[in-house]
């Protein structure tokens, strides 16, 4: 396909990121957008220029304008939109989370079961240069058998979204689904094993307490610890704070194995660069300690170039007719751990993945 035409369904904050990423690719164009919110449509059109805009995703799909669609609508609309998209001959990149519950994820996966198009799960944190490098090093065996995966995210609060949908568990799936499916995906990927049980502690301690929307107060948590046990004996730990804008690193990832440790550091401010990695071996100390640069990133954006690099692979798969590198099934497992963690906090108990799967 010499020219791939994209449509974007859900024209809010992340849609502008996808627009910039796609425009940085050769042989692509964004030709349409769809969003029920008039303000979002107006802002997107102002950025995108002379493209077709629709108030309804069905109208965009029926137009036949698009070879591929990107789903960046609010989380609670993913199930409805994706099951509709499955009936059309378009390639799909769906923003995380796939859906807000495992049951909804299963419905969507079943809807695409017979599709011969590229069906891609948007888990772009895999593409952050320090993360991608750590994954490569760990899978090469440099740290030996993986025993522990620790991920610390200390960051700024959630951005404001249309109708404040991301302030409520019922619309977002909860913070540990909405935000942290990224990290559970990385844990699953690093260990190469299925998660078995989850124990979590978290609360809404600082943020959003002075907010009210139509008389309803936000109910999402703003900090948590989550422990994940995997079937091969490995363990994962997430340390999350949504009210820590003061530190240099937004994410710190440590993979500890039988022979050593690999660490990735991702800056809070994208302008600070792509981050650092450090690898130490028990038998000879630090063997890698370097700042990373990604010369092949044409649009850095919000996630250290990860969204752009993900789009490069998505487009390559479309043109080559090859399968997606990141599947909806992987998206479902990342949601499953987040859903189990939300249940663990709400009910004060350890949750087996069988309970949600």
* 245-275 tens-digit pLDDT: 888 899 999 999 999 999 999 998 776 678 9
Q: Are strands 28-34 and 52-54 parallel, antiparallel or unpaired?
A: parallel
186: nearest Cα among 245, 146, 243, 140: 146
Q: Taking 90 as the threshold, does the pLDDT of residue 295 lie above it? A: no
Top pLDDT among 342 and 304 is at 342
pLDDT at 335: 98
pLDDT at 269: 78
pLDDT, tens digit, 9 for 90 and up, residues 26-35: 999 999 999 9
Q: Taking 70 as the threshold, does the pLDDT of residue 1 lie above it? A: no
Q: Say what percent of the chain tops pLDDT 90.
A: 92
pLDDT at 254: 98
Q: What is the pTM of this model?
A: 0.97
pLDDT at 14: 95
Using pLDDT thresholds of 50, 70 and 90, give the confidence band for residue 296.
confident
CATH code of domain 126-302+334-356? 3.30.360.10
Strand order in the sheet with 146-154: 285-291, 276-281, 260-267, 249-257, 146-154, 235-241, 223-230, 195-203, 351-352
Q: Are strands 285-291 and 276-281 parallel, antiparallel or unpaired?
A: antiparallel
* Domains of the chain by residue range: 4-124+307-326, 126-302+334-356
Residue 25, phi then psi, degrees to nearest 5: -95, 150
Q: Taking 80 as the threshold, does the pLDDT of residue 210 lie above it? A: yes
pLDDT, tens digit, 9 for 90 and up, residues 84-142: 999 999 999 999 999 999 999 999 999 999 999 999 999 999 999 999 999 999 999 99
The pLDDT mean for the chain works out to 96
Domain 4-124+307-326 sits in which CATH superfamily?
A: NAD(P)-binding Rossmann-like Domain (3.40.50.720)
Residue 196, phi then psi, degrees to nearest 5: -115, -45
Q: Taking 80 as the threshold, does the pLDDT of residue 341 lie above it? A: yes
pLDDT at 33: 98
Q: What is the mean pLDDT of residues 330-345?
A: 98
pLDDT at 314: 98
């Amino acid at each position: 396909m010499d020219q791939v035409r994209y449509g974007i369904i859900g024209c809010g904050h992340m849609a502008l990121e996808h627009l910039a990423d796609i425009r940085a690719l050769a042989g692509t164009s964004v030709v349409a957008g769809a969003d029920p919110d008039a303000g979002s449509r107006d802002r997107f059109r102002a950025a995108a220029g002379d493209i077709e805009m629709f108030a309804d995703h069905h109208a965009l799909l029926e137009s036949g304008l698009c070879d591929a669609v990107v789903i960046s609508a609010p989380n609670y609309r993913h199930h409805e939109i994706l099951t509709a998209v499955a009936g059309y001959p378009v390639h799909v990149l769906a923003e995380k989370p796939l859906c807000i519950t495992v049951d909804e994820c299963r419905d969507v996966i079943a809807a695409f079961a017979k599709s011969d198009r590229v069906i891609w799960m948007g888990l772009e944190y895999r593409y952050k240069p320090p993360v991608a490098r750590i994954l490569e090093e760990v899978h090469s065996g440099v740290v030996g058998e993986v025993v522990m995966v620790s991920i610390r995210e200390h960051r700024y609060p959630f951005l404001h979204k249309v109708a404040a949908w991301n302030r409520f568990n019922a619309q977002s799936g909860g913070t540990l689904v909405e935000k942290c499916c990224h990290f559970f995906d990385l844990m699953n990927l690093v260990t190469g094993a299925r998660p078995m049980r989850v124990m979590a502690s978290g609360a809404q301690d600082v943020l959003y307490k002075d907010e009210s929307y139509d008389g309803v107060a936000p109910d999402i948590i703003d900090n948590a610890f989550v422990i994940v046990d995997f079937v091969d004996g490995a363990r994962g730990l997430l340390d999350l704070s949504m009210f820590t804008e003061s530190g240099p690193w937004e994410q710190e990832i440590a993979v500890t194995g039988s022979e050593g440790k690999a660490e990735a550091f991702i800056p809070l401010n994208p302008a600070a660069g792509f981050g650092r990695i450090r690898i130490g071996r028990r038998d000879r100390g630090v063997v890698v300690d370097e700042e990373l640069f990604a010369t092949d990133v044409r649009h850095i954006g919000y996630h250290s170039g990860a969204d752009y690099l993900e789009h490069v692979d998505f487009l390559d798969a479309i043109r080559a007719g090859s399968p997606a590198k990141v599947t909806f099934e992987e998206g479902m497992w990342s949601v499953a751990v987040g859903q189990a963690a939300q249940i663990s906090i709400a009910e004060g108990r350890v949750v087996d993945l069988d309970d949600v799967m």
